Amino acid sequence: MDLSKLKKRPSYPFETIAVAVSFSPRCLHVLAEAKLLSEVFNASLILIHIGEKTSEKEQHFVELMNKVGMDDSHYRVIWMEGDTVETILKLCKLNMVDLLVLGALEKENVLKFYLGSIARNISRKAKCSVLLLTNPSEQLRKYKKIVVNGVENTKTIHTISTAFYVAKHLKVKDVTIVNEMNVPGLAMAIADDSTAPEAKEIKKNMNEEMEESIHSIIEKCDTSGVNVINKSIKGKPGYAISKYAKDRKADLLVINSPDTHLNLLDRIFTHDIEYILAHLPCNLLIVHSRV
């Protein structure tokens, strides 16, 4: 397999979906939602289990898939032991996965469920997009509202395009693109000796520049049938959009994958994605741009 194709492969369409499966109490719901998503996007489905392969587990898999209405001709199971994060990343890369679905995962032989730390590590290294399910169910939820981070970044055009792709397949009519205006950064842009009218004008110009940047991206996307809302909010990056998505009762929050090369400030201060992962407001799609 030519893995160099991954570097030029766009973030969508989702042709291959993988789901990391453990035997947690929510496993059935995670599988059911992954199965339904594979049908919505007409994608092949791969089930990944990190841990020992036993006859009991194999039988359990068969029973679970029967419950969600899928026979073995519609999915493939990969068993592998090793470090959870590194093994999942390796298998996704080798199988050209476009979307990795994660629910509650269980450490092998340990009664502990975890998601945040796994998602944090995977999102920094994954060569595919990652979907975190906060409350999976046997029925695919009705997605009504999608919130997208419109941060100024070269990745953002791919993230917004992917959000519209997802919206069309999930029949979502309401997509809000949010510009987070960093309050400390805004304060630095306004000189101490600026008059009130001058400060107001600076804020207005900054807001207009952000909106123009987003509009230029939207114009390049297929938005037919979608109500697009452009919203500017003030607050700490990550925290502000997470709160906005929660207050808006969004069904899905879509953000860029974090930058892999962190500078000194990134290592000292909490990265914006840390706030979102710590308190997931809804399902979260982390878009990895490979272009």
What's the pLDDT tens digit per position in 182-236? 655 544 555 555 566 766 676 666 666 777 778 888 888 888 889 999 988 888 8
Dist. CA 283–CA 246, nearest whole Å: 11
Pairing of strands 252-256, 283-287: parallel
Which carries the bigger pLDDT value, residue 253 or residue 209? 253
Strands 105-106 and 113-114: what pairing? antiparallel
Per-residue model confidence (pLDDT) at position 279? 79
Q: Above 90 in pLDDT, residue 291?
A: no
Tokens of 277: 């992962």
What architecture is the 3-132 domain classified under in CATH?
A: 3-Layer(aba) Sandwich (3.40)
Q: Cis omega before residue 13 (within 30°)?
A: yes
Taking the domains of the chain in order of start, what are their residue ranges?
A: 3-132, 145-287
- Rounded to whole angstroms, the Cα distance separating 264 from 73 reads 49
Give the count of alpha carbons within 13 A of 128, CB side only: 27
pTM of the model: 0.86
- Cβ(243)–Cβ(235) under 8 Å? yes
Provide the CATH number for the domain formed by 145-287 in this structure: 3.40.50.620
Q: Tell me which amino acid residue 1 is.
A: M
Mean pLDDT computed over 236-265 = 83
Distance between CA atoms of residues 118 and 102, nearest Å: 9
Give the lowest-confidence range in 17-26, 109-118, 129-138, 241-250: 109-118
DSSP state of 129: E
CA–CA separation, 214 and 5 (whole Å): 29
Query: What phi and psi values does residue 48 have, to the nearest 5 degrees?
Result: -115, 125
Q: What is the 3-state secondary structure (H, E, C) of 189-233?
A: HCCCCCCHHHHHHHHHHHHHHHHHHHHHHHCCCCCCCCEEEEEEE
Average pLDDT, the chain: 82
Residue 245 has pLDDT above 60, yes or no: yes
pLDDT in tens, 51-93: 999 999 899 888 888 888 887 788 899 999 999 889 999 999 9
Enumerate the β-bridge partners of residue 106: 113
What is the C-alpha radius of gyration for the chain, rounded to an integer number of angstroms? 20
Q: Give yes or no on whether 3-132 and 145-287 have one common fold.
A: yes
Taking CA atoms, 100 is separated from 11, 15, 220, 234, in Å, by 12, 11, 26, 31
